[in-house]
Chains A and B, each alone.
Chain A
């Protein structure tokens, strides 16, 4: 994995051959060769990769279907059921594996959606300034002073829980944060020479925002999004825990804790497994974020 040609690149000026090779390596190689420079980032990425693989392979590696009830209720861990069974006799391990899909899919989607709304708002707010900026920021401030989880509970209770509503609500919660970050980044960029040059070339405002400024602020946005995904996972989990997440019987880690917590003294494994899994994903994401920051500082 350690790509010596790439790490030497940063020290010596790129020759055209090395440049060609780097191009051929593709972005994936480049991302990995950057990541291995930080131990924290590598461990975080490895844990995440493991969960992603489990999510993909869930149908193959799960011993049972997540909704079938092959065992007795609340059975202790055994050879048939490695993590025991829940209060309906469903295999906890299978539900844990399948539940990975909810977390791995919904959290990034909600952050992505939040970005699609928040990034343009932040760009415009930072670049245009004036009344537009004030209005966007004031609206953001108001949403920001709303306790996030309460806002989610209110919306979901009104509309009714469904995967789509959960994703949309969590995305909405992300918008203010992303807008703020993109705005402050844009404020730094807008006075730089390349923006002035583009303006003098007579480029349109949309071109300057999307083609000039956006690529230059995308690095910090991506680094921040790692943390955002962590928060999204916590919020989706909290909603599941409160019974307002993905409606049953879909396996969802937060929901598994909600359903199993009445039996915590009888069968702690039923709730311990999803709680530990959720924590490990968030820990991995935060490690990755810390690592990315470290790598950024090394430069």
Chain B
């Protein structure tokens, strides 16, 4: 038990270390001079050189990496070139909003995806299963940005039910604020629901065909009880892992959805950072989001460890 946890956290630390190096060195290639970028086009070369010296840009790469990472570990991500504010504050504020969006998405997509998948798995081969499988197949195939476009055109332009942009307005009422979040959440959930439903369907169908379920049915246990008490418990472990494995994909979705709906989360901040060549901000945001992804994966592993006794004895 303790060994398992230590192993997981050790791997996580190592992964984060390598990723921080990757992020730093990829960002190094950037052709734009950060000092020049900060001072503007009309600053004299002498000023730029002075700032370069001050920012430590003339030190060897390894020295700069060590300086950077030790600052990051102390919570200092440097200052954004474009926003001229500490990256830490920007990221902190935006990350909260992104997590809120993702959490609301989860609350919506997980029950729906699991329920649809279970229904399809139980009715395998019947019409209901075919409808769910086909819709799920289409949902997973629609890229998030295209899905978002469809949502905006259908619900905001044609039906006029919901707003097409999600910029929060502090003066708007609660209902208005919630309304603004519906389309981003729907867009985010669309392919996640399809993915989960397809995944759950396969495991559910497998479990329903297994010996112990057949035994329970033959023993005369009522069908609903077989499904609720026996099948679901085993069928839901795999989808749980699946959604944890999908966090990386979900982060991409959050980024696209936030950009499309002008939702001021970490994703749209990174989009802006990329647009403005604000490499310091991009570096920090990437690191933070990757940390979120990696720790979710570890939490997922630990969750499976507790949910499935079989893993413990391997």
Total number of residue pairs linking A and B with CB closer than 8 Å: 138
Stretch at the interface among A28-36, A119-127, A148-156: A148-156
Instruction: Tell me whether A237 and B140 are in contact (CB under 8 A).
Output: no
Main secondary structure of the interface of B (DSSP, over half): helix
Q: Do residues A147 and B19 form an inter-chain contact, with CB atoms below 8 A?
A: no
Q: Which interface class (under 10, 10 to 19, 20 to 34, 35 or more) fits B?
A: 35 or more
Check A150/B270 contact, CB under 8 A, given A257-B149, A275-B149.
yes
List 13 A-B pairs, Cβ < 8 Å: A147-B247, A149-B255, A153-B271, A154-B282, A159-B31, A242-B259, A264-B153, A264-B164, A272-B150, A279-B147, A286-B137, A286-B141, A290-B137
Q: A159 to B274, Cβ gap below 8 A?
A: no
Stretch at the interface among B45-53, B97-105, B206-214, B288-296: B288-296
One digit per residue, 1 when the CB lies within 8 angstroms of any chain A CB and 0 when it does not, for chain B 243-275 equals 000011101100110011000000000110111
B297 engages A145 (CB within 8 Å): yes
Q: Which of B28, B252, B277 contacts A238 (CB 8 A)?
A: B252
Q: In the complex the two chains form, is A275's CB within 8 Å of B145's CB?
A: yes
Contact B274–A157 (Cβ < 8 Å): yes
* Separation of A155 and B137 alpha carbons in the complex (Å): 31
Contact B29 A148, beta carbon cutoff 8 Å: no
Inter-chain CA distance A135–B127, complex, in Å, is 48
Chain A residues numbered 133-148 whose CB sits less than 8 Å from any CB in chain B: 141-142, 144-148
Tell me if B146 is interfacial: C-beta within 8 Å of chain A: yes
Residue tally, chain A, CB below 8 Å to B: 44
A85-119 vs B, CB cutoff 8 Å, 1 = contact: the mask equals 00000000000000000000000000000000000
Q: Which of A149, A154, A243, A275 contacts B27 (CB 8 A)?
A: A154
Docked pose: A65 CA to B283 CA in angstroms: 40
In angstroms, how far is the closest chain A Cβ from the Cβ of B143?
4
**Interchain CB contact under 8 A, B279 and A230:** no
Interfacial chain B residues near A268, Cβ < 8 Å = 153, 157
- Residues of A within 8 Å of B156, CB to CB, are 265
Counting from the closest, the 9 A-B pairs by CB-CB distance are A149-B252, A275-B146, A147-B251, A283-B141, A282-B141, A275-B149, A241-B145, A234-B143, A147-B248
Q: Does residue A81 face the partner (Cβ distance < 8 Å to B)?
A: no
| B145 lies within 8 A of A153 (CB) | no
B141, B248, B249, B297: which has the most chain A beta carbons within 10 Å?
A: B141
